[in-house]
A and B are shown apart, each in its own frame.
Chain A
Amino acid sequence: MADATIGLWTVPLAVFGGAIRVSTPFLFVSLGECITERSGRINLGLEGTLIMGAMSAYGISYLSGSPWLGVLAAGITGALLGALHAGICSLPRVNDIAVGIALMLFGTGLAFYLGKPLIEPTAARLPAIDFGWWSDIPQVRAALRINVLFLIGVAIAPILFWAFRTTRWGLLIRTAGESSDAARAMGYSVLWIRLRATMVGGFLAGIGGSFLSLFYPGSWNEGLSSGQGITAVALVIFARWDPMLCLWASLAFGGAAALGPALQSVGVTSGYHLFNAAPYILTLAIMIITCSPKRTLTGAPAELSITR
Chain B
Amino acid sequence: MFVALFGKNPLDLYFYMYQGAFGTWFSWQNTLTRAAPLILTALCTALPAQLGMVIIGGEGALLIGALSATSVALAMPWAPPLVVQVAMVCAGVIGGGLWIALSGALRQYRGVNETISSLLLVYIGLAILNHLVEGMMRDPSSLNKPSTREIGAANMIGSIPGTDVHWGLLFGLIAAFASYILIYHTVFGFASRVAGGNIRAAKIVGLGVNKLILTICFLAGGAAGLAGMIEVAAVQGRTNANLAAGYGFTGILVAFLARQNPLAIIPVAILLGGISASGGLLQRRLGLPDASVLVLQGIIFVFVLASDALYGRIGFLKGKT
Say yes or no: A231 contacts B305, CB within 8 Å: no
Q: For the complex, what is the distance from the CA of A88 to the CA of B306, rounded to whole Å? A: 6
Q: For the complex, what is the distance from the CA of A98 to the CA of B319, rounded to whole Å? A: 14
Residues on A with C-beta less than 8 A from B111 are 291-297
Say yes or no: B298 contacts A102, CB within 8 Å: yes
Docked complex: A103-142 residues within 8 A CB-CB of B: 103-110, 112-113, 116
Q: For the complex, what is the distance from the CA of A287 to the CA of B102, rounded to whole Å? A: 14
Say yes or no: A109 contacts B297, CB within 8 Å: yes
Instruction: Report if A186 contacts B (CB, 8 A).
Output: no
Residues on A with C-beta less than 8 A from B126 are 277
Contact of B124 among A103, A116, A272, A284 (CB under 8 A): A284
A interface size (C-beta, 8 A): 53
Chain A nearest CB from B24 CB (Å) reads 26
Instruction: Report if B263 contacts A (CB, 8 A).
Output: no
Say yes or no: A270 contacts B135, CB within 8 Å: yes
Contact of A106 among B127, B302, B317 (CB under 8 A): B302
Contact of A109 among B121, B253, B295, B308 (CB under 8 A): B295
Docked complex: B147-200 residues within 8 A CB-CB of A: none
Instruction: Report if B311 contacts A (CB, 8 A).
Output: yes
Q: For the complex, what is the distance from the CA of A101 to the CA of B56, rounded to whole Å? A: 10
Residues on A with C-beta less than 8 A from B253 are 98, 101-102
Say yes or no: B298 contacts A93, CB within 8 Å: no
Say yes or no: B293 contacts A91, CB within 8 Å: no
Residues on A with C-beta less than 8 A from B110 are 287-288, 291-293
Instruction: Mark the stretch among B89-97, B112-120, B228-236 that contacts chain A.
Output: B112-120
Chain B nearest CB from A167 CB (Å) reads 29
Chain B nearest CB from A275 CB (Å) reads 9
Docked complex: B78-114 residues within 8 A CB-CB of A: 106, 108-113
Instruction: Report if A150 contacts B (CB, 8 A).
Output: no
Q: For the complex, what is the distance from the CA of A277 to the CA of B302, rounded to whole Å? A: 31
Docked complex: B298-321 residues within 8 A CB-CB of A: 298-299, 301-302, 305-306, 308-309, 311, 315-317, 320-321
Q: For the complex, what is the distance from the CA of A92 to the CA of B294, rounded to whole Å? A: 26
Chain A nearest CB from B59 CB (Å) reads 10
A231-B302 contact in complex given A93-B308, A98-B252, C-beta closer than 8 Å: no
Residues on B with C-beta less than 8 A from A168 are none
Q: For the complex, what is the distance from the CA of A281 to the CA of B122, rounded to whole Å? A: 11
Say yes or no: A105 contacts B306, CB within 8 Å: no
Say yes or no: A95 contacts B297, CB within 8 Å: no
Contact of A102 among B109, B123, B301, B320 (CB under 8 A): B301
Q: For the complex, what is the distance from the CA of A61 to the CA of B234, rounded to whole Å? A: 46
Instruction: Report if B76 contacts A (CB, 8 A).
Output: no
Interface on chain A toward B: helix, strand, loop, or mixed SS? helix
Q: For the complex, what is the distance from the CA of A237 to the CA of B311, rounded to whole Å? A: 32
Instruction: Report if A230 contacts B (CB, 8 A).
Output: yes
Q: For the complex, what is the distance from the CA of A205 to the CA of B121, rounded to whole Å? A: 24
Say yes or no: B291 contacts A113, CB within 8 Å: yes
Say yes or no: A98 contacts B257, CB within 8 Å: yes
Say yes or no: A230 contacts B119, CB within 8 Å: yes
Residues on B with C-beta less than 8 A from A104 are 249
Say yes or no: A110 contacts B295, CB within 8 Å: yes
Contact of A276 among B120, B127, B316 (CB under 8 A): B127
Say yes or no: B298 contacts A110, CB within 8 Å: yes
Q: For the complex, what is the distance from the CA of A283 to the CA of B112, rounded to whole Å? A: 11
Say yes or no: B113 contacts A112, CB within 8 Å: no
Instruction: Report if A267 contacts B (CB, 8 A).
Output: no
Instruction: Report if B54 contacts A (CB, 8 A).
Output: yes
Residues on B with C-beta less than 8 A from A102 are 253, 298, 301-302, 305
A93-B315 contact in complex given A237-B115, A291-B111, A308-B321, C-beta closer than 8 Å: yes
Interface, chain A (partner B; CB < 8 A): 48, 84, 88, 91-95, 97-99, 101-110, 112-113, 116, 227, 230-231, 234, 237-238, 270-274, 276-277, 280-281, 283-284, 287-288, 291-297, 305-306, 308
10 residue pairs of the A-B complex, CB under 8 angstroms, read A92-B309, A94-B305, A98-B256, A98-B257, A108-B298, A277-B128, A287-B113, A292-B111, A293-B109, A308-B321
14 other contacts beyond A280-B120, A280-B127, A281-B124, with CB at 8 A cut-off?
A48-B298, A94-B316, A95-B305, A98-B256, A103-B302, A105-B297, A106-B298, A106-B302, A109-B291, A110-B295, A284-B124, A288-B110, A294-B111, A308-B317
Interface, chain B (partner A; CB < 8 A): 54, 56, 106, 108-113, 115-117, 119-121, 123-124, 126-128, 130-131, 134-135, 249, 252-253, 256-257, 289, 291-299, 301-302, 305-306, 308-309, 311, 315-317, 320-321
